[in-house]
Amino acid sequence: MNQLRSRWLALALCCSATLASAQIKVENAWVRATVPGQQATGAFMKITSAEPVKLMSVATPAASINEIHEMKMEGGVMKMRAHLGGLEIPANATVELKSGGYHVMMMDLTQTIKSGQTVPLELLFADAKGLKRTVSVSARTSFKDPYQK
Ligand SMILES: [Cu+2]
């Protein structure tokens, strides 16, 4: 770990501007499949970043409106609301968007999300200085988490 840290530091000192974009990792991205006529669904993934960033927005051709939502228990009732101002990804921590927690709410779907396909997602991040960068992922589609064993 120490060795890893010092290597990151060395990289940051020499050329932070060019390497920055390579340091956000998005894994296990998937979108919950839908049945015909369904208007909304969720997208889930694990995000890791070497430096603190915020997930600001998500775009996909599969939905007209995409919001970052969080689910919380309130008085014994599960409530969902838009998480505004960007989802914080602390340095070297993995933030998981999953059922019952943070998720990308895809609304006004442009198509039925059939299971067993992929959906392209463009994730827009901003770093502490407000610099923006986009990470593109291909999300698997499934009625349940395809990465859960
Ligand atoms: Cu939601």
The residue type of 65 is I
Distances (CA, A) of 142 to 31, 64, 116: 7, 20, 6
Q: Are 106 and 63 in contact (CB under 8 A)?
A: yes
Cα(109) to centroid(ligand 1), Å: 14
pLDDT at 13 over 50: no
Select 24-142's CATH number: 3.10.20.310, 2.60.40.1890, 2.40.10.410, 2.40.50.140: 2.60.40.1890
Cα(13) to centroid(ligand 1), Å: 40
pLDDT of 7: 53
DSSP for 77-113, please give it.
Answer: EEEEEE-TT-EEE-BT-EEEE-TTS-EEEEEEESS--
Cα(145) to centroid(ligand 1), Å: 16
pTM: 0.83
Cα separation, 7 vs 124, whole angstroms: 26
* Domain assignments of the chain as residue spans, ordered by start: 24-142
Cα(80) to centroid(ligand 1), Å: 6
pLDDT per residue over 67-126, tens digit each? 999 998 889 999 999 999 999 999 999 999 998 899 999 999 999 999 999 999 999 999
Q: Are 24 and 100 in contact (CB under 8 A)?
A: no
Cα(87) to centroid(ligand 1), Å: 14
pLDDT of 17: 44
Residue with tokens 């290597």: 7
Cα(45) to centroid(ligand 1), Å: 14
The tokens for 36 are 């015909």
Kindly indicate the confidence band of residue 149, based on its pLDDT and cuts at 50, 70 and 90. confident
CB atoms within 10 A of CB 127: 18
Cα(104) to centroid(ligand 1), Å: 7
